[in-house]
Structure 1
Amino acid sequence: MSAVAHEQPITGSPSQEDILLESFLSLHSPEGFRAELIEGEIIVAPPPDGDHEDYVGLLIDQVGRCSKVHMQVSGGKGLRLVSGGVCPKNHVIPDVTFAPMELRLFRGAPSWMDPDGVSMVAEVTSGKPDQDRIAKRHCYARAGIPLYLLIDREKSQVSVFSKPHRDEYTEVHLAPFGELLALPDPFGFDLDTKPFL
């Protein structure tokens, strides 16, 4: 009688996604650089230029003065966007993240936090504008972030995407620089884009 060897499946082997995520999380970016994991690609961006930071500051100032709901703001908070395996474990750092102040969402949060409670993320285009226009937009929609605001410097326009469904936002409103753009609740005010000119 001969014994038949049964091949046992190898368990505990990390997947390519797990290896990529582990490699990403162990990165040590040079000071001022941002490393993000977006749809399976590691992106390392240099520090933003002065115009980029000016747009960010103008947006934060208006939200602080005009929003119906008092907002907590983070410029550089890492978000872990996991959405049921539809896209890889994205780790994205929006230019600006807004959440209602009453939630105190950022207090005690880890380096990479889940986006639950985030009201809006905002990006200002820079070296790779299609990352902001397409890839990040899809990741934010998949994660269910209610609003995504894009300040597109090359197109001289501001867009607000709302009503996320699967990997897309079902509504978009845009305004060329110089016009008003209505921000939905909980913000509930018209963003003045004249300062972006």
Structure 2
Amino acid sequence: MTHESLTQEEVLLEGFLLLDTPECLRTELIDGEIVVTGLPDGDHETYISRIVRQVIRKSATDMDFSGNKGLKVPRHARTVPDHVIPDGTLVPHDQRLFRGAGPWTDCAGVSMVVEVTSTKPDRDREAKRHCYASGNIPLYLLVDREKSSVTLFSDPENANYREVVTVPFGKSINLPAPFSFPLKTADFL
């Protein structure tokens, strides 16, 4: 295929996939925009650790976790998928989704993605929410440091989530199946 026959989105994807990003940066393709961010700070990683610890101990289903796993997320009205890197990706252990996967894998089979807001919180609140819903990822858990809250988005349809539950830090939020337990946020304070 020649460059003349590629769409602008396909040329952008080709360039994105050829980027040689230094290890201290994360590069994503979200909504037709190349997004480069620095590595997360210690507080960010503490939130992820608190969530993963509870998921491993309390989930009704044995889950595998991957931090910073690249997901290809199909988007309606776009010819190329978004390429996003959630702070955390959870899949049932028996699916073995991560085994043998390259840097970018399909999002089918993902049970939940987790994001902790950083320097551009609106990207996590809006753009990534629509990405994950477009990929039919059943659950999106957002830890919003600026708002001191945790939001669970569920029931994806038409590039958005139909169910949204938000609790302030310190309150529990119920994670539905396959997790089936109340996630405690008291130590997020």
Q: State the TM-score bracket (shorter-chain normalisation).
A: over 0.9
Q: Give 1:80's aligned residue.
A: 72
* Counterpart check, 1:166 vs 2:158: yes
Residue among 130, 141, 150 paired with 1:138: 130
C-alpha distance in 1, partners of 2:76/2:126?
20
CA distance in 2: counterparts of 1:142 and 1:59, whole angstroms: 24
1:85 Cα deviation after fit? 3.8
TM-score (norm 2): 0.96
Contact 2:73 2:81 in 1 (8 A): yes
Give aligned-pair identity as a percent: 54
Give 2:174's match in structure 1, choosing from 179, 182, 190.
182
1:49 equivalent in structure 2 = 41
Shift in Å, 1:140: 0.4
Matches of 2:156 and 2:108, distance apart in 1 = 14
For 1:92, the equivalent position in structure 2 comes to 84
Which residue, out of 63, 67, 79, partners 1:71?
Answer: 63
Q: Secondary structure at the match of 1:98?
A: strand
Deviations 1:105-126 (A, max 9, x none): 1001121110111000000000
**1:19 corresponds to 2:11:** yes
1:189 offset after TM fit, Å? 0.3
Residue identity opposite 2:112 in structure 1: M
> Which residue identity lines up with residue 180 of structure 1 in the other structure?
S
Deviation of residue 32 (structure 1)? 2.2
Matched AA of 2:125: R
CA–CA distance in structure 2, aligned partners of residues 58 and 87 of structure 1:
37
Instruction: Give the equivalent residue in structure 2 for 1:4.
Output: none
Deviation at 1:13, TM superposition (A): 1.1
Residue 38 (str. 1) matches residue 26 (str. 2): no
Q: Does the 8 A contact of 1:97 with 1:118 survive in 2?
A: yes
Cα displacement (A) at 1:84: 4.5
> Does structure 1 retain, via aligned residues, the 8 Å contact 2:75–2:82?
no
Distance in structure 1 (CA, Å) of the matches to 2:41 and 2:87: 12
Q: Deviations over 1:24-75 (max 9, x none)?
A: 0011112221000000010000011110011111111110111110100000
CA-to-aligned-CA distance 1:63-94 (integer Å, 9 cap, x gap): 01111101000001100011454574200000
Amino acid in structure 1 at the alignment position of 2:58: C
- Equivalent AA in structure 1 for residue 159 of structure 2: D
Tell me, yes or no, if the aligned pair for 1:39 and 1:87 is still in contact at 8 Å.
no
Alignment-mate amino acid for residue 165 of structure 1 = E
The answer as to whether partners of 2:10 and 2:80 remain within 8 angstroms in 1 is no
Q: What are the ranges of 5 or more consecutive residues in structure 1 without an aligned counterpart?
A: 1-9
Spell out structure 1 runs of 4+ moving beyond 3 A: 83-88
Q: TM-score normalized by structure 1?
A: 0.92
User: Which residue identity lines up with residue 110 of structure 2 in the other structure?
Assistant: V
Which 5+ residue runs of structure 2 have no aligned equivalent? Answer: none
Q: Which has the larger radius of gyration?
A: 1
Are 1:128 and 2:128 matched, yes or no?
no
Deviations 1:124-156 (A, max 9, x none): 000100000000000100110000000000000
